[in-house]
Structure 1
């Protein structure tokens, strides 16, 4: 598949997700209404299209590069999305059960999805760190995002946590808050490692994808899990999160292909191969 087709597919996925969410926010349909099954089918197709695009990017990346680092990042990127999509299915709450673990958090099924999102975003984090290492040898670009992400994650957890929340929800969301905080700052570090304001539009968009991942989960934590005294601002927060999340994933899956393109451009420009 040609490069622009991969981009068009991501743009189409984002636009469909926007229509899905905006239509729900405007009251044309609702996940709590009679259209629930149709909405879940539509969103499942969106996720499948996203996974397909990620697979195509993975295949194209390993087909046009000989660099082990690029192939490793491509595998990490695809594995990350695959695990995260399993988390998305968990968040669909197909059995429609609430207050499964305790009486304080209505949508505590979201904690179950962390079993998939935690390793999924860990793989994405590793891909991001590896990409930064290809851009610069300055370890501060890795060290500072980790420190800042953990600090911001802990602060966010303290601010949104409810005092009567059980240990399982508290520990799982606390650990995850720090991880996703690091993911967000890694996106910023990636942009800076690409030259900051001098980074290309593609580099800015991919870095923004990492940042949007942190924003999407901040929305979940503050407004879906702990919001409204544990009741959650549901379903509106679900629609908003869906838009941000799909945009994030649609951008970050292009990381491996972007690195290959940049490397190929560098090779053509300098008329020699430089192995990362």
Structure 2
């Protein structure tokens, strides 16, 4: 099974029902965590998954809401008896900053061995997975950020996560033909570095995605859920569209 579970779907400021946006990808060979916002270890458990099955962490970028749970996760994995080393994937500026943050935490022996893997936009991430491939593309955001395309090696079907971005050609191309597009929809009006629900609808329509899921969204800070879906359709997307919910799952 290839499946994405949303662990958090909110903006940088959580609301009552939404933690910072992050998610976990489930494959036969184990779990790949995508960003680490909030109480990630517990949220993996609440999703019915085993944190000890993690086989890697992919960090899209270095803004606090996407990395704030990582030091605690590494600490908790060590205490829980995680075996082996844990690869951490990300672009060079993100890896550099996160390594310094972990040094400040002073985890000493209470951390799992880490393997740092630097990747850049346009590359295939060296996961060596027999079931899926992962390609990444640069987004347009105040800090260097990577969008992800997870593709079933057998069927060719794909799930794409935009990460944080304003509409841009690189993410548009990455999303082309995706069965599922998980796209941020942070702001009610166009804003540098982020996307509105209407713009997300246009991206999905242009990419001919099968299904659109909005994340990095809050009915308190963006707009109501009903208005957001109406805006998606106004952007030209006629397919299935929804607001991402925490612990929602999406299977290829």
Which TM-score applies when normalising by structure 1? 0.25
Identify which of structures 1 and 2 has the higher relative contact order when contacts are C-alpha pairs closer than 8 Å and 6+ apart.
Answer: 1
Larger helix fraction of residues: 1
TM-score normalised to the size of structure 2?
0.26
